[in-house]
């Protein structure tokens, strides 16, 4: 039955009952007596109450669909509204679910293209920084050294200071280029890249330790890049916003296959902070490889970012044969099970 006929018949039933009462035991005289007025008012209230209850019951599926529309998030796909009954509302719910699936697919496709273009642009900028700016600063350093060897002592000190400033700028350029294009990831693999990333973020105020389980399943190249970028963004957020002095980076197998990345700090936590562009970027990258990203509080405070990658095949990749030294994990705690907060 269509929504129109359902509402029409509900209202018609209420009105028919009211007419039957007026034709039967309820009568109205002129002028209206007090008792009759009270009966009419009570009957009107009863009709309005019955009509409201029937409408609420009849429009409940629309309210559920409206809530689903309001809470739909393309960065957290998979949630669908249950289709109940038949008719127009069921058809509308089915159409909405199909539209949501199409939008999620189109968003994943467009996000993949954007991120691929972003990575290509990062590689181009890193290459230009290395080849153009880096070589120019290197030439400046050599020229400053040559000039400093031929000038009087008072001027030589100033030239040495200029050399140090130029050398610091060259180191910064190289650091930016490494962040834009993680060459160690392409050359040595994910394990070495994570260790290099941890060393890069380790300062006198922040200590970063890595714990990598040996013999992990082999990851595809795009999955390795996603793991690296998520770890990079998590460490960047920790260094900038958390106020932490210690961070742990874990890479370990999941109980049912696959790999989990966990970045955990001892800072002040997320609190009520809104998700910024960095976290949205992590979620979009995660969707591209069918993984799960969970952000939350750590078991002892602070913030932890967990990336669960489904099983990506078995075997041992080149970096796994190199071994991981003494940074193995002794086991998997309760907070590391798939689906746990964080």
pLDDT of residue 331: 37
pLDDT of residue 287: 79
Q: What mean pLDDT do residues 127-143 have?
A: 81
Calculate the CA 85 to chain-centre distance: 34
Annotated domain spans of the chain: 3-103, 190-342
pLDDT of residue 324: 36
DSSP string over 293-318:
EEEEE-BTBSEEEEEEEPP---S--H
pLDDT of residue 249: 92
pLDDT in tens, 229-270: 899 888 988 888 888 888 999 999 888 878 899 999 888 877
CA dihedral (122, 126, 127, 133) in degrees, to 10, reads: 140
Strand order in the sheet with 246-253: 207-212, 246-253, 259-265, 303-309, 292-297
**pLDDT mean across residues, the chain:** 76
CB 227 within 8 A of CB 182: no
pLDDT in tens, 209-231: 999 988 888 788 888 888 988 99
**Could you tell me the pTM of the whole model?**
0.59
Would you place residue 4 in the very low, low, confident or very high pLDDT band (cuts 50, 70, 90)?
low
Q: Which two tokens stand for residue 126?
A: 């890193």
Indicate if the pLDDT at residue 342 is higher than 70: no
pLDDT in tens, 53-108: 777 777 777 777 777 777 776 666 667 777 776 667 777 788 888 888 888 777 77
Q: What mean pLDDT do residues 41-45 have?
A: 76
Considering Cα of 156, then 157, then 161, then 162, what sign does the dihedral take?
negative
**Whole-number Å distance between alpha carbons of 292 and 76:** 9
Nearest to 84 by CA among 58, 114, 49: 58
Q: What mean pLDDT do residues 182-190 have?
A: 79
pLDDT of residue 323: 37
Indicate if the pLDDT at residue 28 is higher than 70: no
CB 259 within 8 A of CB 314: no
CATH T-level assignment (fold) for domain 190-342: Heat Shock Protein 90 (3.30.565)
């Amino acid at each position: 039955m269509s929504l129109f006929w359902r509402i029409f018949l509900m209202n018609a039933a209420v009105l028919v009952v009211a007419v039957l009462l007026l034709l039967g035991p309820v009568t109205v005289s002129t002028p209206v007596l007090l008792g009759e007025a009270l009966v009419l008012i009570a009957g009107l209230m009863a009709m309005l109450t019955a009509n409201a209850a029937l409408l609420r019951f009849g429009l409940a599926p629309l309210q559920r669909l409206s809530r689903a529309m309001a809470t739909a998030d393309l960065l957290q796909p998979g949630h669908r509204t249950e289709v109940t009954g038949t008719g127009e509302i069921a058809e509308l719910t089915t159409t909405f679910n199909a539209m949501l699936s199409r939008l999620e697919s189109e968003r994943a496709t467009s996000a993949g293209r954007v991120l691929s273009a972003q990575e290509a642009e990062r590689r181009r900028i890193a290459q230009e920084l290395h080849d153009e700016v880096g070589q120019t600063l290197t030439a400046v350093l050599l020229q400053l050294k040559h000039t400093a060897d031929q000038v009087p002592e008072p001027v030589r000190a100033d030239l040495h200071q200029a050399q140090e400033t130029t050398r610091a700028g060259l180191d910064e350029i190289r650091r930016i280029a490494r962040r834009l294009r993680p060459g160690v990831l392409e050359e040595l693999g994910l394990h070495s890249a994570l260790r290099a990333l941890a060393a890069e973020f380790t300062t006198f105020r922040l200590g970063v330790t890595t714990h990598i389980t040996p013999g992990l399943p082999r990851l595809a190249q795009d999955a390795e890049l996603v793991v690296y970028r998520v770890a990079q963004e998590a460490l960047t957020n920790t260094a900038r916003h958390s106020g932490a002095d210690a961070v742990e980076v874990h890479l370990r197998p999941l109980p049912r296959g696959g790999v989990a990345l966990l970045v955990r700090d001892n800072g002040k936590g997320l609190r009520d902070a809104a998700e910024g562009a960095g976290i949205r970027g992590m979620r979009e990258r995660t969707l591209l490889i069918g993984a799960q990203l969970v952000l939350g509080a750590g078991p002892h405070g602070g913030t932890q970012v967990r990336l669960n990658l489904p099983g990506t095949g078995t075997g041992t990749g080149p970096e796994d044969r190199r071994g991981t030294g003494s940074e193995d994990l002794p086991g998997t705690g309760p907070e590391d099970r798939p689906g746990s907060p964080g």
